Amino acid sequence: MSTLQITPSISQLRRQLTPWRDEGEQVALVPTMGALHQGHLSLVRQASAMAQRVVVSIFVNPAQFAPHEDFAAYPRTLKSDCDKLADTGVVDLIFSPPPEEMYPPGFATGLTVGGPALGLETDFRPHFFGGVATVVAKLLIAAMPHVAIFGEKDYQQLLVIRRMARDLGLATEIIGAPIVREPDGLALSSRNVYLSSNERMIAGTLNKILADACNQVRACGPIAEIEKQSTNALLSAGFDSVDYVAIRDAQTLAPIEALEQPARILAAAKIGRTRLIDNMSI
Ligand code: PAF
């Protein structure tokens, strides 16, 4: 049974953080949408290695879901999330606001994002990064943490948030944390619970196909050809559709023609109604 206090309001959050900051303690924020798994808990552990105080936010952000997406069905497991966070022994506070606290009636402000937000996820989920950037900016302004930790699983999101924080002059340092994987290499995701057992087997091929593509890029294979072959390999493995397999500059996500700088392979593909994303450094 969790003994961690859940803070529902921004004003209460600020009141709780003030004495810690006044004492000179570093504060780390781990923003989440709940449905916590080992990947989230690894972010929490990284946060505690970087700061004396760890705040975890749990908020399923309606602004980053399109009307046809899974906002209503998104797993909400607040009680077990709190137990998992309490079990880590390093979390000081959970911020879990109701929707009207983050989006009060009449809310009419949103961030427009460019740069690393262009292409890839944005081609398929045009609303997504605006919604993410807006809620993360609100969380960073509310908590004013020294650092905030985000998983590299959502690599494009990490770059968009880093750019947003820099562009708005927010004082928080944005830290990326490595992807946590299942034994077969499937990246942990709250959406993996949607997979049937057959779909779960197919899902386990995504990381292998990407790892194979990385090796081909390192061996100087032609980038466009590797992207096409990997797409076909995913379809042959049982994915129903592939949104993209893209080999990009690791910092800007601009297309590249050869491996002359740090690069990243990113992919999104659907099995049934579940959309999976993954990425790897090359
Ligand atoms: O990655 C997520 O869980 C969400 O996009 C985030 C960063 C918590 C914003 O809602």
Mean pLDDT of the chain: 97
pLDDT of residue 159: 98
Q: Which two tokens stand for residue 269?
A: 């593909």
Phi, psi angle pair for 278, to nearest 5° = -155, 165
Domain 6-177, CATH class in plain words: alpha beta
The residue among 188, 134, 193 whose CA lies nearest residue 160 is 134
CATH number of 190-276: 3.30.1300.10
Residues 151-166 pLDDT 10s: 999 999 999 999 999 9
The residue among 57, 275, 20, 250 whose CA lies nearest residue 156 is 250
Given the CA of residue 61, which atom of ligand 1 is nearest to it? 10
Contacts of 24 (CB under 8 A, 6+ apart): none
**Residues forming beta bridges with residue 187, ordered by sequence position:** 181
| Residue-range domain boundaries for the chain | 6-177, 190-276
User: What percent of the chain has a predicted confidence (pLDDT) above 70?
Assistant: 99
Show the ligand 1 pocket: residues with CB < 6 angstroms.
31-33, 61, 64, 132, 135-136, 154, 157
Burial class (CB in 10 A: 0-12, 13-18, 19+), 26: middle
Atom 5 (ligand 1) nearest CA: 132
Q: Is 274 left (phi over 0), alpha (psi -120 to 50) or beta?
A: beta
Given the CA of residue 57, which atom of ligand 1 is nearest to it? 8
pLDDT of residue 186: 98
Distance 259 CA to ligand 1 centre (A): 30
Ligand 1 pocket mutation pick from 153, 154, 191 by most atoms within 8 angstroms of CB: 154
Q: Which residues are catalytic?
A: 40
Residues 232-254 pLDDT 10s: 999 999 999 999 999 999 999 99
Residues 94-133 pLDDT 10s: 999 999 999 999 999 999 999 999 999 999 999 999 999 9
Whether 73 shows a pLDDT value over 60: the answer reads yes
The answer to whether 88 and 41 have CB atoms below 8 angstroms apart is yes
pLDDT of residue 204: 98
